[in-house]
Amino acid sequence: MTIFRTQSKYPMISLEEAQRLLEEYITPLPARRLALAEVPVGAVLAEPITSPDAVPGFDAATMDGYAVLAEDGASRRRLAGAQRAGSAGAAALESGQCVRIMTGAPLPQGADAVIPVEYTQEADGWVITELTPQPGLNVRPAGSDIAQGQLALPAGTRLGAAEIGVLATLGIARPRIYPQPRVTLLVTGDELAALDGPLAPGQIRDSNSYVLTAAIRNIGAPCERLSVVEDTHEALRAAILTAALRSDLIISTGGVSMGTHDLVKPVLEELGVVHFGRVAIKPGLPLTLATVLRVPFIGLPGNPVSTLVGFENFIRPAMRRMAHISARWRPQRTVKLAHAVRGDKRRLEFQRAIISQENGEWWARTTGSQASSRLLSLVGANALLRLPASDQEYPAGSEVIAILTDAPEQDTIA
Ligand code: AMP
Ligand code: MG
């Protein structure tokens, strides 16, 4: 008996080849200036920041107290005025005088030390102290935080809270940065229902919109979701064109398999170029990379686990690359299987697992049914086990590679 098979026209390529093509077609974005308040945490600085000024710009008090001449010693001083933070009005100090001063206020001319208020008594316009100040006591000299002309932040710095603070301190209102890609999400499927209404027969809730929006926001990138796209040629075509005009990256879910309503690939062929249409991985076989109007397009299969595993293997690395972030790959480690596991015969499989250290060794337990619809297989998982295609079961105790999905990314794949 002959079994006829309808074959996909797209060759099944390896994960490595797919990731190589991803690097080829998804390239770093040009730098632009952004208002500091709009700079996403984790963005990469595109220019070196050399300090235009000294910080602080003046010798400043670091305590509330009295600005004095140190050489006057522990004597009684005549109160000659007051200096508040933000003003520089006090007259120059002469020997035998002091000026009441607040933390952060500039030292009056002539003063070279600040005696904290706790060590003084003030009465009838006189201040007495038993403290003998050294020159420089409680004074923060001009330029002591950042010197004028100092390289404060080199180009390529990733901007966290402290780095954004340095830019603010230096008055860099619109730094040149590499922006995060603007992503448009196209979720396809006529079976998808909103969260708040009843489910008609055959309908399911749309979880992918929420999964991907959360995953993309977690990266710090802006993400817009167009309304759920109908499984028709016209609707998909219109949605892809709309997305291409306003995005740096388009991500779709669903509609990339072999069903008669899986129209994403045919529409992409019509509007642009499909670079690959099948990858030898499980979940995620029909994952697709295309370019439409110069905008890269990644088509994920509809099953929620395929979506999130595809995000981990392809989309997050691609988005990081677009944003010039070199740390793109999760670290990996060798672990031992705590129980036997069956992989896939033809495809590299990513099984969701919890790994833990026991007596100095790392052990992995998979998270129950690995069906690609079962989001609960990802809940609580901290690793993806990389199981190369095999006819054989992996026996308990086998060593396999685990991708640590909770760990911060690093520069190299392994
Ligand atoms: P597809 O890739 O369009 O063939 O869809 C594969 C499976 O994923 C089908 O069972 C779909 O119902 C399901 N699916 C597609 N899109 C979503 C979504 N947005 N949320 C949850 N499940 C989905
Ligand atoms: Mg579908």
User: pLDDT, tens digit, for every residue of 50-69?
Assistant: 999 999 999 999 999 999 99
**Average pLDDT along the chain:** 95
Q: How much is the average pLDDT of 283-302?
A: 97
Q: 371 and 301 in one domain?
A: no
CATH number, domain with residue 93: 2.170.190.11
pLDDT at 89: 77
Domain boundary among 140, 167, 200: 140
| Co-location of 302 and 201 in the same domain | yes
Quick one: average pLDDT of 218-235? 92
Residue 272 lies in a domain: yes
Q: Give me the mean pLDDT over the 339-364 stretch.
A: 97
If you measure from the C-alpha of residue 187 to the centroid of ligand 2, how many angstroms do you get, rounded to a whole number? 9
For the cut 80, the answer to whether the pLDDT of residue 90 exceeds it is no
The domain tally of the chain equals 4
pLDDT of 244 reads 97
Mean pLDDT, rounded, for 376-402: 97
pLDDT tens digits, 137-163: 999 999 999 999 999 999 999 999 999
Nearest CA to ligand 1 atom 17: 302
Mean pLDDT of 70-83: 95
Residue range 236-242: average pLDDT?
Answer: 98
Nearest CA, atom 16, ligand 1: 302
CA 265 to chain centre: 30
Domain that holds residue 156: 33-54+145-178
Q: Is 17 in the pocket of ligand 1 (CB under 6 A)?
A: no
**Residue of the CA atom closest to atom 6 of ligand 1:** 302
Residue 376 has pLDDT above 70, yes or no: yes
State the pLDDT confidence band at 408, using cuts at 50, 70 and 90: very high
Could you give the CA distance from residue 253 to residue 307 in angstroms, rounded to a whole number?
7
pLDDT over 80 (residue 233): yes
Q: What is the CA radius of gyration of the chain?
A: 31
Residues 162 and 227 in one domain: no
CATH number of the domain that residue 153 is part of: 3.90.105.10
- Give yes or no: residues 88 and 125 share one domain: yes
Q: Of 150, 201, 231, 173, which Cα lies nearest the Cα of 35?
A: 173
CA of 200 to the centre of ligand 2 (A): 17
Q: Is the pLDDT of residue 295 over 80?
A: yes
**Is it the case that residue 2 has pLDDT exceeding 80?**
no
**292 pLDDT more than 80:** yes
Contacting residues for 412 by C-beta, under 8 A, at least 6 apart: 329
Residue 276 bridge partners (DSSP): 289
pLDDT greater than 70 at residue 185: yes
User: Rounded to two decimals, what is the model's pTM?
Assistant: 0.89
Residue nearest to atom 14 of ligand 1 (CA): 302
Residue 412 resides in a domain: no
pLDDT higher than 90, residue 5 = no
Residue 1 belongs to some domain of the structure = no
Same domain, 207 and 315: yes
Atom nearest to 306 CA in ligand 1 = 8
- Ligand 1 in contact with 254 (CB < 6 A)? yes
Question: Between vectors from CA 310 to CA 306 and to CA 312, what angle results, nearest 5°?
Answer: 125
Q: What pLDDT was estimated at residue 1?
A: 63
